Amino acid sequence: MSAPSTTTVVRPGDLLELVGRELGASGEHRISQAQVDAFAEVTGDHQWIHVDVERAAQGPFGSTIVHGFFTLALVPLMLADILVVEETSMGVNYGLDKVRFVSPVRPDEPIRARAELLSATVLKDGGGVQASARVTVERVADATVCCVADIVFRYYD
């Protein structure tokens, strides 16, 4: 299991100096079939490629696959491994600029994320920073890209 490589800054404003840089990589994460089934229950997405193990074994991916939106939902968790802002009153997910589900993630397959800081600007009220990072989720085994998301977040002073 690989340990995360983390970038730590003291204050949100310190992000301004990191634009264009790789921030690091998360530790490994695995999504179990039970978690996939629970996600299907919560979202109502019971597509057989996600929840029918026997049918999916005969399907195009050879097994069930994790919902793309489930993989995307783990991006903030993985980003927390990668970037730490020590002195902040709060961080919030502000949105997404672009998302692509490049290849499927199979249950119990180890994945990790890497992140590059695309932008960072001081909020108009001066109380924090809005930043954007390109987060690439990949298979640990062969670094195959599974999901690429440009995530927008804010850290407040």
Does domain 7-156 fall into CATH 3.40.50.1580?
no
pLDDT of residue 1: 64
Tens digits of per-residue pLDDT, 28-55? Answer: 999 999 999 999 999 999 999 999 999 9
In the chain, which stretches have pLDDT less than 70?
A: 1
Cβ-based neighbours of 151, under 8 Å, separated by 6 or more: 75, 76, 79, 93, 95, 96, 97, 132, 133, 135
Q: What is the pTM of this model?
A: 0.94
